[in-house]
Amino acid sequence: MPKHVAIIMDGNGRWAKAKGMMRIKGHQAGAGTVKKIVKTAREMGISVLTLYAFSTENWKRPASEVSGLMSLLKSYLKSELESMLGNDIQLRCIGQQENLPKEVLSVLRKSIEETASNSGMILNLALSYGGRDEILRAARKMAQLCVEGKLQPKQITEDILASRLYTAGLPDPDLLIRTGGESRLSNFLLWQVSYSEIYFTNIKWPDFSKDDFFTAIRYFQKRQRRFGQTGEQVVVTN
Ligand code: FPP
């Protein structure tokens, strides 16, 4: 079983368009899939589920879509708090929290605080998140420490850099799923996915079912993870 699953939830807009509906209807249907997949991941014993809900680039979408997504997020957080508490789910957020509208931020912070001692699964929402921005911020912080004489450039290791990312303390994703038919990373967890297995599916996020999730997990379970070693070495060490 993968410990950490990350998902790029793509295809909401095209799903709605194909049905002759407004794009926001696709996002609303997508929020339903989020509830279903969070529940399934928790039941399966996955430790960390990271969902790409809003990227740093998504701010460039039409204002009506951005505000629709923000209010959807707010109502999701409000309606799901009880279920997170009941199912021992700890909510976390990665991304530029400071850029979120105040009313989203306050319900987000409340949910993070109230679920902080839960340990069944971490639900990690990527909000106003960009992989390059995350690495850039880490580089700036480390540069500042060097200027202050608290860190030497030669002391900077992969672990030190990783400890400055939003995901500090979390394992890297074992499996990255992207729905919606595109085969790209779209600025998601660029540092962290270096050895993740990647599963692309044409299914659009609103249609992504529990069975589709199981299919992705089975794909992962059939991979031989070599982390740069040879197949023979991995068989011997395992
Ligand atoms: C990408 O599809 C999806 C998003 C930018 C937003 C994802 C949001 C949700 C799934 C719902 C709200 C989230 C939570 C956590 C409740 P797209 O709009 O780019 O689709 P397209 O490529 O078909 O246009």
DSSP letters of 129-169?
A: E-HHHHHHHHHHHHHHHHHTTSS-GGG--HHHHHTTSTTTT
Contacts of 56 (CB under 8 A, 6+ apart): 95, 96, 128, 129, 130, 133, 187
Q: What is the pLDDT of residue 236?
A: 65
pLDDT tens-digit series, residues 16-74: 999 999 999 999 999 999 999 999 999 999 999 999 999 999 999 999 999 999 999 99
Answer yes or no: is 154 within a domain: no
Tell me, using a 6 A CB cutoff, whether residue 2 lines ligand 1. no
The residue whose C-alpha atom lies closest to atom 22 belonging to ligand 1 is: 11
Answer yes or no: is 137 within a domain: no
59: left (phi over 0), alpha (psi -120 to 50) or beta: alpha
Answer yes or no: is 165 within a domain: no
The residue whose C-alpha atom lies closest to atom 11 belonging to ligand 1 is: 31
Q: What is the pLDDT of residue 230?
A: 86
Answer yes or no: is 230 within a domain: yes
pLDDT tens-digit series, residues 90-137: 999 999 999 999 999 999 999 999 999 999 999 999 999 999 999 999
Answer yes or no: is 134 within a domain: no
Q: What is the pLDDT of residue 231?
A: 85
Q: What distance in angstroms lies between residue 90's CA and the mean position of ligand 1's atoms?
A: 22
Tell me, using a 6 A CB cutoff, whether residue 76 lines ligand 1. yes
Answer yes or no: is 67 within a domain: yes
Q: What distance in angstroms lies between residue 214's CA and the mean position of ligand 1's atoms?
A: 21
Answer yes or no: is 166 within a domain: no
The CATH code of the domain that includes 227 is 3.40.1180.10
Active site residue 10: yes
Q: What is the pLDDT of residue 238?
A: 53
**What are phi and psi for residue 203, nearest 5 degrees?**
-65, 135
Q: What is the pLDDT of residue 226?
A: 75
Q: What is the pLDDT of residue 29?
A: 98
Q: What distance in angstroms lies between residue 26's CA and the mean position of ligand 1's atoms?
A: 8
Active site residue 58: yes
Specify the amino acid at residue 228.
Answer: G
| Number of structural domains found in the chain | 1
Q: What pTM, to 2 d.p., does this model score?
A: 0.95
Tell me, using a 6 A CB cutoff, whether residue 80 lines ligand 1. no
Tell me, using a 6 A CB cutoff, whether residue 13 lines ligand 1. yes
Expressed as residue numbers, the domain containing 212 is: 4-129+172-237
Q: What is the pLDDT of residue 153?
A: 97
Closest among 216, 139, 140, 138 to 177, alpha carbons compared: 216
Closest among 50, 48, 121, 52 to 84, alpha carbons compared: 121
Q: What is the pLDDT of residue 237?
A: 56
pLDDT tens-digit series, residues 153-199: 999 999 999 999 999 999 999 999 999 999 999 999 999 999 999 99
Give the position, in ligand 1's atom list, of the atom nearest the Cα of 15: 23
The residue whose C-alpha atom lies closest to atom 10 belonging to ligand 1 is: 30
Answer yes or no: is 186 within a domain: yes
Q: Which of 7, 8, 12, 177 to mutate to test the pocket of ligand 1 (most atoms within 8 A of CB)?
A: 12
Q: What distance in angstroms lies between residue 185's CA and the mean position of ligand 1's atoms?
A: 15
pLDDT mean over 72-100 = 98
pLDDT tens-digit series, residues 191-238: 999 999 999 999 999 999 999 999 999 999 999 877 888 888 887 655
Closest among 101, 8, 112 to 55, alpha carbons compared: 8
